Amino acid sequence: MVVTPQLALRVAILGGIALVLFAVIFFRLWYLQVLSGDQYLAEANDNRVREVKVEAPRGRIVDRNGTVLVDNRTALVVQVLPERLPDDPVRRKRMTTRLARVLSRDPAALRRKIRRDSRSLPFSPVTLKTDVGLTTVLFLQENQSRFPGVEVERVFLRKYPHREVGAHLFGQIGEVTEDQLDKPRYSGVALGDRVGQSGVELQYDRYLRGRNGASRIQVDARGLPKGELSVRDPRPGKRLRLSIDFDVQKAGQAALEGYGLPGAFVAMDPRSGEVIGLGSNPSYDPNVFAKGVSPSVYKRLQDPDNGAPLANRATQGLYPTGSTFKLITAVAGLESGLLSPATVLFDGGSLTVGGVTFKNAGNVSHGAVALPRALQVSSDVYFYRVGLMADQKGGDIIQKWAGRLGLGRGTGIDLPGEGAGLVPTPEWRNRLFRRKLTDRPWTPGDNINLAVGQGDLQANPLQMALAYSAVANGGRIVTPHIGMRVEDSSGRILQQIEPAARRRLNLSSSTRTAIMQGLRAAANDAGGTSTPVFEGFPITVAGKTGTAERGAQGDQSWYVAAAPFDDPRVVVATTIERGGFGAEAAAPAARRILAAYFGIKGKKAIGTAGEAPD
């Protein structure tokens, strides 16, 4: 065979190309085997090892006496390991459809959840249903071959043994959201973990949450387990002790439920700010949130026509307070020099200003009265006159003292979502008028209405308890708080929970004495608005009724009390929507709460409802 120059050139070119290709392959293999060998060996080993999360139980929540308020229980959950599902799309779809039917789930939604969670946490099991019944579990186990990759595991769920009692304190837990995962406070939390979403479960989540453990298992090329390599035990969450007294909490909620109307109560130590009881009616059973709540149930719990059970009226209610506000008007009048405890104003039953007549409740007249007597009989006209005097002097006297006493702002309580409310001012209304958001500017009548807790005022029971506490304790604005301390499982104190620093008001002793004497007379002396309610009560109470007009919604019943009168250890604020006069509903409810606090039982605890107006 004759090799022509052209053929030789072609062979040389092909040989060169082959040599270059073999060189590239050689150097690539050398790079993978020699330079990167250790890296790929480690990755290969990692592919043979799976880490399975072992959930940590959340810490218990107990009351001040150690009564368990929130506990844990074990439950069965159905999970699926995505890597063990059938590879064939048709077989996979058939299997997930069968599984959805067994779990009473929508097949499309179940498949979306598997795809979403497996992308977020590869090789981790995806929880499809929590708190599964034993019948379902047995069926899945007996038909394991028809449900490859499906497993049943035990997990911890929250347990609220007292059901509706304290629900608005505890809040709920739920799966962490993607937005929450970006926040520093959720460091170490993974998608699928359950965290506090409201109430003290949210506020103290970092203590209650604990730290998950993990089980490292070896798997084969198909992802099937071959053996356990190591186990890191979970660390349970810490125990949280609250300042709540369960007996007071239960009595307060029972007192509200007895009227079958929406309402709220707060019981607080005026010296420290410790919240002894706080509740809202209607309540709800937080156990429904333990395993996830359906959209329809959640909507029902928010529905105003159903009483909006999720709303915490004690911290989020926006109400006029009626005559319970007169304590604030009295403080403003005395501390600003508008009047003294001995100043006598005439109550002829009505006051006409600018062509508008403001009347006493029940159209009664009390004649010449000084401040203590005005509080005792709840003279509207007396406080109308103080409101008019304050408006004429200018400077928003009542509004400024309302703010100093805690209205129109958050109290700082360790419960998320409290409302600030509103103390109306001339500037506020005039600004709305300029923007055409109201029909008129500020008038003296607005200040007259504010002086008796009417008009545009919006406040909640916690704010009123705070204001009365400031007078009861001599001028200290405490920070209401529910958390007392963090403990280990044996009750050993790990951390004391300290509330924010207190504010101090320059409240004169004469102001406190005059107001407290008036409140004592209102609950104990003849003609007092709540004297019939506290007849026979063994503790001397200082308290004030309130009846707030709310138009077509009906009058709202209020009562705020401090006891014992000579050295108050507890302040109780109650309000009941559509409850009528303060002495008809709110005051009897307050008596029951006070009785629980002081350990009074039987007829002395219940008493009889009063007949006095306002």
Query: How many Å from the N-terminal Cα to the C-terminal Cα in the chain?
Result: 126
* Residue after which a domain boundary falls, among 183, 212, 242: 242
Closest CA to 196 of 187, 206, 188, 211: 206
Q: Give yes or no for residue 119 having a pLDDT over 90.
A: no
Interval 326-333 mean pLDDT: 98
Q: Point out which residues pair with 228 in neighbouring strands.
A: 217
Contact status, residue 203 vs residue 414, Cβ threshold 8 Å: yes
Give residues with Cβ within 8 angstroms of 278, minimum separation 6: 168, 169, 244, 249, 252, 265, 266, 267, 314, 315, 415, 462, 482
Number of domains in the chain: 2
Q: Residue 342 falls within a domain, yes or no?
A: yes
Q: Determine if residue 573 is left, alpha or beta; phi over 0 gives left, psi from -120 to 50 gives alpha, anything else beta.
A: beta
**Global pTM value:** 0.86
The whole-angstrom separation of Cα 97 and Cα 107 is 5
CB 561 within 8 A of CB 543: yes
Residue 266 domain-assigned (yes or no): yes
The DSSP secondary-structure symbol of 267 reads E
Six-digit token string for 114: 């598997």
Asked whether residue 214 falls in the same domain as residue 259, the answer is no
Which CATH number characterizes residue 532's domain?
3.40.710.10
Parent domain of 93:
50-242
Q: Is residue 354 within 8 Å of residue 443, measured between CB atoms? A: yes
Provide the pLDDT for residue 273. 97
Clarify whether residues 115 and 221 are in a common domain: yes
Question: Does residue 231 sit within a domain?
Answer: yes
Backbone angles phi, psi at 551, to 5 degrees: 65, -130
Q: What are 66-80's pLDDT values in tens digits?
A: 999 999 998 888 988
Which of 62, 512, 548, 61 has its CA nearest to residue 270?
Answer: 512
| CA–CA–CA angle 366, 464, 432 (5° rounding) | 90
Q: Are 564 and 558 in contact (CB under 8 A)?
A: no
Assigned domain for 271 exists:
yes
pLDDT of the residue at 612? 46
Among 213, 242, 271, the domain-final residue is 242
Residues 6+ apart with CB under 8 A from 433: 439, 440, 441, 442
CA distance 44 to 66: 52
Instruction: Please indicate whether residue 119 or residue 356 has the higher confidence score (pLDDT).
Output: 356
pLDDT at 196 over 60: yes
User: Average pLDDT, stretch 380-395?
Assistant: 96
Query: How far is residue 516's CA from residue 612's CA, in Å, rounded to a whole number?
Result: 20
- The proportion of the chain whose per-residue pLDDT surpasses 90, expressed as a percent, equals 65
Q: Are 174 and 120 part of one and the same domain?
A: yes
Res 172 pLDDT > 70: yes
E strands present in 149-260: 150-159, 173-175, 194-196, 213-219, 225-232, 239-242
What pLDDT digit, counting tens, does each position of 259-300 carry? 999 999 999 999 999 999 999 999 999 998 887 777 888 899
188 burial (CB, 10 Å; 0-12 / 13-18 / 19+) is: exposed
Q: Which single residue is written with the structure tokens 């007259």? A: 448
Rounded percentage of the chain residues whose pLDDT exceeds 70: 90
